[in-house]
Amino acid sequence: MSIQKFTKIQSPAVPLTIENVDTDQIIPARFLKATTREGFGDNLFKDWRYDKNDNPKPDFVLNSPVYSGSILVAGKNFGSGSSREHAAWAVYDYGFKVVVSSFFADIFKNNALNNGLLPVQISEKFLQEMFNAIEEDPKTEFAVDLENQEITILATSSKENFEINPYKKECLINGYDDIDYLLSMKDKIQAFEGSKV
Amino acid sequence: MYIDKHLVHEVTSPQAFAGLEKRGLNVFRPQNTVATPDHNVPTLNQHLPIKDQLSAFQINKLTQNCEKNGITLYGLNHPSQGIVHVIGPQLGITQPGMTIVCGDSHTSTHGAFGSVAFGIGTSEVEMVLATQCVLQPKPKKMKISVEGKLGKGVTAKDVVLYIISKVTASGGTGYFVEFAGSAIRSLSMEGRMTVCNMSIEMGARGGLIAPDETTFEYIKGRDFAPQGEYFDKAVEKWKLLYSDDDAQFDMEITYDAADIEPMITYGTNPGMGTKIKSSIPSNGDILEKNKNSFLKSLDYMQFKPGEKLEGKKVDYVFVGSCTNGRIEDLREVANFVKGKKKAENITAWIVPGSKSVEKQANEEGITQILEEAGFKLRQPGCSACLAMNDDKIPEGKLAVSTSNRNFEGRQGPGARTMLASPLTAAAVAVTGQIIDPRELL
Does B188 contact A at CB distance below 8 Å?
A: no
Please name the residue of chain B whose CA is at the shortest distance from the CA of residue A111.
Answer: B121
Rounded CA gap, B364 and B377, in Å? 13
Residue A2 is predicted with a pLDDT of 73
CA distance A192 to A151: 41
Label residue B114 left, alpha or beta by phi (over 0 means left) and psi (-120 to 50 means alpha): left
Phi, psi of B5 (to 5 degrees): -135, 130
> Cβ contact (<8 Å) for B130 and A179?
yes
* Spatial contact of B175 and B139, defined as CB atoms under 8 Å apart: yes
| Contact residues for B259 (Cβ-Cβ < 8 A; gap 6+) | B162
Looking at residue A1, what is its pLDDT?
60
**A52/B414 CB distance under 8 A:** yes
CA distance B35 to B70: 11
Chain A interface includes B257 (CB < 8 A): no
**Closest approach of B137 to chain A, Cα-based (Å):** 8
ipTM score for this prediction: 0.95
Say if B370 is an interface residue toward chain A (CB within 8 Å): no
Residue of A20, A81, A189 lying closest to B293 (CB–CB) = A20
pTM of this structure: 0.96
- Residue B343, classified by CB atoms within 10 Å of its CB into exposed (0-12), middle (13-18) or buried (19+), is middle
- How many Cβ contacts (< 8 angstroms) between chains A and B? 163
pLDDT tens per residue across span B302-335: 999 999 999 999 999 999 999 999 999 999 999 9
Residue pair A142/A11 in contact (Cβ under 8 Å)? The answer is yes
Please judge whether B269 and A22 are an interchain contact, meaning their C-beta atoms are less than 8 angstroms apart. Answer: yes
Q: What is the overall mean pLDDT for chain B?
A: 97
Q: Are B401 and B384 in contact (CB under 8 A)?
A: yes
Instruction: Band the pLDDT of B101: cuts 50, 70, 90.
Output: very high
* Region of poorest pLDDT, from A69-73, B290-294, B384-388, B422-426: B290-294
pLDDT of amino acid A197 = 61
Q: How confident is the model at residue B376 (pLDDT cuts 50, 70, 90)?
A: confident
Q: In a structure prediction context, what are the per-residue pLDDT tens digits for chain A, which is 197 residues long?
A: 678 999 999 999 999 999 999 999 999 999 999 999 999 999 999 999 999 999 999 999 999 999 999 999 999 999 999 999 999 999 999 999 999 999 999 999 999 999 999 999 999 999 999 999 999 999 999 999 999 999 999 999 999 999 999 999 999 999 999 999 999 999 999 999 999 86
